[in-house]
Chains A and B, each alone.
Chain A
């Protein structure tokens, strides 16, 4: 295997593993901060026990999220040196801003939160978690601005044989970035809402700590309802934007081959990429793709056949990822709606609670699929329209990359198993008994 493929596999493994944990920390920090603020205001110990219970879950996640983030930054240099050299003027600055303006804040204050229970007042300690939450989301904003630039490069000039910054504000505030930020952040918040609701539902089904978990469930539910609305609205707007900025990605998402007006969507379509058609088309909905892409059932949508072969993304992966994302997100929105209706009689709704427990892996599937869609759908470009992935890898021996890839798989598998096992164990055990929590 060549360096490009191995490096892609390694980056995909590292990103997807990182993304198992980081989105959860983004939302969980907000929820934990809310819980602790309630405690600081009311002095009610239930909130404190809730804070400590979900706080521990948050910390296991943070540990795994933080340590796997460094490898991502460094891989641009180790594995994608041609890319780094070409775009560092813009892309590198965004990563450096993320570290100085956001990641420092998050990392420093997490340490203070873990060890500062007895050093700070309740209110100050809660505020520390608010800073952590703010910094975490701010951090993702800069990373997503950087990713959006790879999807839709703006504000640059090609000079001295590389892409150089011409307009910083154009890069930082372009529409693609704003949509990606709102969509990804709200999805991350929805993920954490589902985890808190799922764990709460598990204990409510067993009638354990009913007061604590009813409160936690409702808190997460409000957070979830708002997040679900933002996910749906931003997702729709993002789809329209992708139609204009990345027509190849849109066509691959729907495995849409012929340019037509009134373009249909299929519930399931399996592409035959060699013969440029679909093998299986099931559940045709006329005009839906035109509507999703341009908010007009009769609009013309460019098909893959009008895009040069060497500029098409892998259709099968892109389209399956899109279906997995939309399908599971729809299910989550439905569950959120159901939970909202039953919010005042949770204990009498075992069916809802059971469904919510089993739905815990759903947001994971959704966001991983969304990330695959974003990244695979951009191929064969590393920077859309500007640089191909095949030109971006480092001039290094493939045996080195093979070695590190094996290392990543081994280390991450062990850490992943240990991390999830610890989290599940902690989630099932439940919070500390009431009297011990009074520290």
Chain B
């Protein structure tokens, strides 16, 4: 029980770290066509995330891999039920990844335009679809006792799912804007600041709407009502969200960005805490839901993987923090992607 619960929250933690790290890459990519007025702006934006996005994306691979290792049945049913959205996310991530590398290889406006579009699509689509997917998981997915999905492609595109998508896009876009504030100056930074100021109240509205809609659309609050101390997770998230605005007003960009990290962390755990012990609830019958207690790997595998994670994840965080510190200065032309 303890081992399985530990793994449940580790699973949530890995998703949260993925959303925090690659989230601002998605945000910068989403803002890219709107804030990148000229080639210098665009190359500045790419250089702002260029050294970091690749390492950030591995948190997704790790979140997926850990789902596979610790909860094989969840991995199997989750990934096959969400087949088409996952494939769309994969295609988006593929074109995003190569576009950073390919864009500046050929000096031709048509070539550049193709990869500029790819950067936007490859960033916006995953942000949206991860939101849609997780909101649907909060609601429950129509799969039966044999792990067979009984919905259609359009089942996931319900109002609550779409609200989740919009919320994620806004969270990540603001997150990306704040990272850009750290790494840019001059005109680009001023425009980014204005964007962040507009995005914040919109995000607040979306977050409140989503919290309210969750009351009607999901069973997330059952855990909170049974254990009212858990409401502190929501309180923490709300405080973090308010802190973003305070730090924006003070133009304290690092603090604003950290507050945004805390907001995304809180938002993820708001869902994770509500789901516990289910990882992938079924909307057809609660008995079909996949839970940490009934659908985990063997104790031996869970123990070995716990050892692996406890050794390597702190190490990874260590060298990634170092990488962030090397690449947190204001971007200049010297930092542009060039060989």
Contact = CB atoms under 8 A, between A and B. Distances in A.
A181 to B, nearest CB: 19
B213 interface: no
A107 interface: yes
Contact of A411 (B53, B91, B100, B327): B91
A64 interface: yes
Contacts of A120: 326
A166 B323 contact: no
Nearest to B78: A77
Interface string A102-144: 0111011111101110111000000000000000000000000
Given A96-B68, A99-B58, A165-B304, A85 B52 contact: no
B54 A111 contact: yes
B270 to A, nearest CB: 25
Contacts of B41: none
A96 B51 contact: no
A136 B269 CA distance: 33
Interface stretch (B28-36, B236-244, B245-253, B331-339): B331-339
Nearest to A412: B94
B79 interface: yes
Contact of B61 (A89, A99, A111): A99
Interface stretch (B82-90, B130-138, B184-192): B82-90
Interface residues of B, number: 69
Contact of B80 (A66, A77, A88, A98): A77
Contact of A63 (B47, B84, B97, B323): B97
B95 A411 contact: yes
B201 interface: no
Interface string B101-126: 11001100000000000000000000
A38 interface: no
A66 B149 CA distance: 30
A88 B91 contact: no
Contact of A114 (B50, B57, B69, B84): B50
Contacts of A90: 301
B274 interface: no
B149 A112 contact: no
A170 interface: no
A78 interface: yes
A70 B61 contact: yes
A382 interface: no
A286 to B, nearest CB: 48
Contacts of A81: 76-77, 79-80, 147
Interface stretch (A193-201, A325-333, A399-407): A399-407
B337 A96 contact: no
B313 interface: yes
Nearest to B335: A115
A281 interface: no
Nearest to B316: A104
B77 to A, nearest CB: 7
B101 A59 contact: yes
Q: Is the interface of B mostly helix, strand, loop or mixed?
A: helix
A343 interface: no
A93 B149 CA distance: 25
User: Considering residues B78, B301, B335, which has the most beta carbons from chain A within 10 angstroms of its beta carbon?
Assistant: B301
B147 A77 contact: no
Interface string A361-391: 0000000000000000000000000000000
A324 to B, nearest CB: 29
B159 interface: no
A229 interface: no
B62 A77 contact: no
Interface string B245-278: 0000000000000000000000000000000000
Contact of B327 (A73, A77, A115): A115
A103 B58 contact: yes
B39 interface: no
Interface in A19-77: 52, 55-56, 59-60, 62-64, 66-68, 70-71, 73-74, 76-77
Nearest to A405: B87
Contact of A96 (B93, B149, B305): B305
User: Considering residues B51, B71, B326, which has the most beta carbons from chain A within 10 angstroms of its beta carbon?
Assistant: B51
23 contacts: A63-B98, A63-B101, A66-B97, A78-B86, A84-B68, A85-B72, A85-B75, A85-B147, A89-B72, A89-B297, A93-B308, A95-B68, A96-B65, A96-B305, A97-B308, A99-B65, A100-B62, A115-B327, A165-B297, A394-B76, A394-B80, A407-B87, A418-B98
